[in-house]
Structure formats: structure tokens, C-alpha cells
Structure 1
Amino acid sequence: MPRAFNPARGKHTGIMIKVLLLIAGGAIGSALRYGVSTWVQKAMLYSFPFGILSVNVIGSFLIGFCWSLAEAFSFSPNTRAFLFTGLFGGFTTFSSFTLDTLTLMRTGEYKLALINIFASNILGLLAVFLGLLLGKNTLTLIK
């Protein structure tokens, strides 16, 4: 017996396609981040994290470049999801942060842009510190 038409089924299919695009983009971006950062770090032979720095700068450049193309050529929501959330999100979350900050600046929200810069960096460092501290204390309790 044929199923009755269900318009909601099409909506769920669209969401699943977007989720699969996010997963694919994230996987590709993460693999690229690993490859690029490892290659750069080995090539530099210094303890400074040049690998991650290069990924952050490259990702920031690429997200800006691709965003301008997305605006000029009206990329579809699925293409934008694949690129900006998936691929660049997997490659570097720093690129999303820089795009958001630049968007605030372009709309004249300079105060919010500065707050975003300081809050993201200071709170991010604090969160890493607290996470490391909690992790060490948890390991001490487990042992």
C-alpha cells in the first residue's frame, strides 16, 4: 500500500542533507588542519606553535575569500553550511571568530568587536586553564 503524502518528510530530508554536508565538511577540514599544521610545525623546527598559527591565518584568509564569493554568487544555504560551518569549522574555529568580529566592525559595532576579541581570547585561555586544572585533579582522584 502506498504511503500518504507527508510534507514534513521533505523537511526532515533537507535537514539530514545539511547535517551530512556539515559532517563531510568537518571531516575534510579536520583532516586538512592536521595535515597542514603537522607539516608546517615539522618544517619550522621550533617549539612555537607555527602549525596552529598557520592554520588559523590560512583559515581566516580562506573564510574571508570564500565569504566574498558566497555573497557575490549567492551560495545556497547548503553550500554555506558545508563551507563555513563544516569545512572551515573543522579546519579552524578561529576563522569563524575572525569573520564574526569583522562583521561587527563592518556594521559599525566597534565596541562589540573589541568585546568579542578580548572575551574570546581571555575567556578561552581561562577555560583551557580551568579545563587542564580540572583534568589534572580528576586524574589524581582516579589514580
Structure 2
Amino acid sequence: MNWICVIAGAMIGAPLRFLTDRAVRARRDTVFPWGTFAVNVVGSLILGVLTGATVAGAASSHAQLFLGTGLCGALTTYSTFSYETLRLSEGGARFYAAANVVASVVAALGAVFVGVALADAVWV
């Protein structure tokens, strides 16, 4: 049963990542990888809420597998973040590469903290 939860979440997360990236690229004509940035920050927020819910006893192990491992595992992408940062740097856009690293790490960590705080406000 556990693997079904992971697969079901991934079946939603992977296309959601693809569609989000395409939608963001269609609206933003820039060298900065806003699509990857967006999915990583949103995924971090979801994981923060899930972590807070888990600590409060409001999230089952199946919810953790479905949302955390499946959905967020397929939604977020460290490999694409790394590739896009390297591509920016090699293409001479070193400022954007550095901004991508700093903004992604700060925003994702901030999103996790906000998610945990939201969960605390709801379930504690």
C-alpha cells in the first residue's frame, strides 16, 4: 500500500511541475529559471505544512508518503536547479546564477518555516 501512495503522489507532482514550468515560462521572458524556482518554493511550503501536521499528529503515514515523498518528490527538482544554475554560469550570466542559488535556498528555507508556522497555527 505504501508504494501506491508514493506513485499516486508522483503521478500528480511530475505533470504539475512540467505544467507549472511551462506556464511560468510563457508569462516570463527572462533568462532566470522562474519555473524551477516556483516549484521548489511551493514544494518546500507543502513539506513545511506536512512536517508541522505530522508533528501535531494530524498527518497519517499515508499522507506523508503521498504528499511528501510522492507529490513533492516529483514536484521539486534539485537536479534541474543545479543544471540551470550551471547553464546560467557557463552562458555568462553569473549574476543570475548566483541570484538563483541564493534566492532559491533562502526562499525554500523560508517557505518551510512558513509552512511549519501555518501548521502550528492550525493544529496546535
TM-score range, shorter chain: 0.5 to 0.7
Are positions 1:53 and 2:40 aligned together? no
Superposition deviation, residue 54 in structure 1: 1.1
Are positions 1:27 and 2:20 aligned together? no
Partner Cα separation in structure 1 for residue 66 and residue 59 of structure 2: 11
Partner Cα separation in structure 1 for residue 64 and residue 9 of structure 2: 10
- Partner-residue secondary structure (3-state), 2:56: helix
Q: How many residues align?
A: 83
TM-score, normalisation: structure 1: 0.51
Superposition deviation, residue 66 in structure 1: 2.1
Name stretches of at least 5 consecutive residues in structure 2 with no aligned partner. 88-124
For residues 21 and 65 of structure 1, do their structure 2 counterparts lie closer, same or farther at Cα, with a shift above 3 Å needed?
A: same
Contact 2:36–2:77 (CA under 8 A) maintained in structure 1: no
Are positions 1:80 and 2:64 aligned together? yes
Per-residue CA deviations over 1:2-25 (Å, capped at 9, x if unaligned) read: xxxxxxxxxxxxxxx111111110
Q: Which one has the largest radius of gyration?
A: 1
TM-score, normalisation: structure 2: 0.58
Superposition deviation, residue 93 in structure 1: 4.3
Q: Which residue of 2 aligns with 1:8?
A: none
Higher RCO (C-alpha 8 Å, min separation 6): 2
Partner Cα separation in structure 2 for residue 85 and residue 43 of structure 1: 29
- The share of aligned pairs that are identical, in percent, is 33
- Partner-residue secondary structure (3-state), 1:33: helix
Letter in 2 for 1:83: L
Q: CA RMSD in A?
A: 2.3
Per-residue CA deviations over 1:37-91 (Å, capped at 9, x if unaligned) read: 1111111111221111111111112211221122213422222111110010011
Superposition deviation, residue 34 in structure 1: 0.9
- Partner-residue secondary structure (3-state), 1:75: coil
Partner Cα separation in structure 1 for residue 39 and residue 48 of structure 2: 14
Name stretches of at least 5 consecutive residues in structure 1 with no aligned partner. 1-16, 95-120, 130-143
- Partner-residue secondary structure (3-state), 2:27: helix
Q: Which residue of 1 aligns with 2:2?
A: 18
